[in-house]
Chains A and B, each alone.
Chain A
Amino acid sequence: MVPTLNGRIQTRIAVLAVVGGLWTLLITPLLPDGAPLSASYRATFQILLLAIGLGVLWELLYHFIQQFRWEKDWPTFLGLVTVVNEGLLIWILIKTTDVGPDVGFGSFLLHFLTVWIVVWLIVNGPMRIPFVRWRFLGGRLI
């Protein structure tokens, strides 16, 4: 990918909200948390919201790091492995502060990791089917 800062932020919000939201709707009933479905949904959507909110801040850092790359690109691999730092931060936040829900590690991992992979797969291909200019605009949708 060759994002601009504006494009990064727009893509982050739109794809996590829409694709991540749909995936969260589908996967939440399958999570091994034993909680009532309404509580599970509240928890997973709070995590998704955190991924969007904190993600915008992460994008600022990624954009800065990108400036050291001659190509000013953001290789596919980086888009995948940043699941580690982002997931870790959210996990630490929900375990050490009042921010976010109280969920088990297994449920969190299954939800967060699958959302990440689905979003990453969409952004690296099918996204271009409806939005043919998106990749030429640094990831901007509007």
Chain B
Amino acid sequence: MSTDNIVLPGSMDPAEPDVRPTPQLGDLNQFLIDTHVWTDEMLQQAGIPIVDTPFVTIGGGIGSFVTTDYLRICGVPASAITVLTNLEVPWSSYEYLTRVSQIPRRERLRSDSASTPDNIWGFPSYAVREAIAAKSVKGFLDPLWSVLTEPFLRDYYTPKAGQAFESMEREYHRIGYPQCVRKGQVRMVRRRYGGGYFTILTPPAGAAPTRRIAYRSQFVHVAVGYPGLKLLPDLQRFREQYRDPGRVVNAYEPHEHVYEQLARRPGTVIIRGGGIVASRVLQRLIDDRDRYRLQTRVLHIFRTYISGAHGPNIFMRRKGGDGWAYQGFNYPKSVWGGQLKAKMRKLEGAERATEYKLMGGTNTPVRRLWQSQLKRGRAEGWYQTLTGEVTEMLPGQGQSVVANVKAAQGFVQATADFVIDCTGLEADIREHRLLADLLDHSGAGRNPVGRLDVERTFELRGTRSGNGRLYASGSATLGGYFPGVDTFLGLQIAALEIVDDLAALGFCQRLGVGRSIKQWWLWARHRPI
């Protein structure tokens, strides 16, 4: 189990031992840990209390939130849903990641106007709501004009982060989400002899008389977010070897000190990565440069430099230039409902993996502000790019860092005051303790791109237990029949598939035309369910 993952809100402590040297009341024992399928008696013998609940969702982030929301809309009472989480609110982890990667509440996300996790219908969209809430004629017309003319006359409309969080908070209270929440860290999910599952929760120290609590349920949903975020290996080596965590940072870690020091004295920053996070970090550096008249210089290292439109044929060409691959959202837009969604749903194995590769790759949206900032930087010489592979990072003179780069023109040495890793390198699913346990003990397997293998219904393949079902959604399931899983709308689509499957099993009502209209009307008037 790796311990070099970046610490996120609610993330698991990998050093936490399963079994303490001095036995504790109601703890796991080696027999339980080693046994794939548990009986009720095994837990009773270990002294672990059993709590019955029909539906458990693990993670408590936006994936759990939208799934709970849709279940409530489909008639499931809050008392029948248990959310097991370490997070304060469902958007805690997401807001942390966006804030440190330079998208505070006032800035815009990379998300479509109709990708609304607080509203299953996507209507009214964020743009319409922003217009309605505006206090001036310009404020009213601007989002509407933007969403009307995107992407031709304007950039793709995207909501402000604050709007997404505030609207989720309204829905959070409307559906009575807080009463579903039980705090703690989920250690494992095991199949139950006779059907259903046991989910083992470690409540916060002192919050319960026993070290563990078992939730016995027919249905389990796993939505734990990123299995882990990592620094690039060469940056990790630099940190460990020279014990210098401040010079080399990951964009998903708090790194305000970088901007603060650059405001005090001129410096050079190396940026690694060519995605949205790199764009946002560059915007922050350039905004600060303009606002405080700084002399910050930026060296942007691209591993793959995109010089123009690219793709296998005229029907599959993505725009690109100046090093970047350009795309409105994380995936081509039609993966969330159109041609690509329909196509991927039919693909298996290697064919699916190839298609993922074709539409994947790091990319960023074309935004007019970013284009003009970088154009100015290139013209004035304070923004430069270098293409190549960083082979080694070394400490330089004073407080500087030296990057040895294997570039097309040969070896290049680049010196900077800071290195910001914007690559968003994700850990293997096995590095998440709960997911590793599912692979080892509960029959879960990997999909063609190596993550959790889910059915079209998001049931975790191989984990069925009698009349029980185990579902998974979010980043850990990337590579399945539906590509956009790690996005707002992706989590919503997954939740709808799960709820439809549960309706077919008789656990909730199907969201047909009548119920949908009635529930929307309740939502529109902010009436509790």
Contact = CB atoms under 8 A, between A and B. Distances in A.
A75 interface: yes
Contacts of B147: 76
B317 to A, nearest CB: 6
Given A70-B332, A131-B513, A4 B496 contact: no
Interface string A101-142: 000000000000000000000000110111111011110000
A59 interface: no
Interface in B132-162: 147-153
27 contacts: A1-B338, A2-B338, A70-B316, A70-B319, A72-B332, A72-B340, A73-B332, A73-B338, A76-B147, A77-B149, A77-B150, A77-B153, A125-B128, A126-B123, A128-B114, A128-B123, A129-B123, A130-B513, A131-B513, A131-B516, A132-B120, A135-B114, A136-B337, A136-B341, A136-B493, A138-B339, A138-B342
Contacts of B513: 130-131
A132 B334 CA distance: 17
Summarize B's interface: helix, strand, loop or mixed: loop
Contact of A135 (B122, B149, B152, B315): B122
A135 B150 contact: no
A2 B150 contact: no
Interface string A1-44: 11110010000000000000000000000000000000000000
- For chain B, give the interface size range: 35 or more
Contacts, number: 91
A1 B338 CA distance: 8
A: contact size bracket: 20 to 34
Interface string B106-138: 000000001000001111110010000000000
B122 A68 contact: no
Contacts of B327: 70-71
A104 to B, nearest CB: 30
A67 interface: yes
B334 A2 contact: yes
B333 interface: yes
B466 interface: no
Given A2-B336, A136-B341, A138-B342, A76 B123 contact: no
A138 B341 contact: yes
Interface of B: 114, 120-125, 128, 147-153, 311, 314-319, 327-328, 332-334, 336-342, 493, 496, 511, 513, 516-517, 520
A68 B339 CA distance: 13
B121 A75 contact: no
Given A70-B319, A72-B332, A77-B148, A135 B337 contact: yes
A103 B422 CA distance: 62
A57 interface: no
Contact of B333 (A2, A67, A80): A2
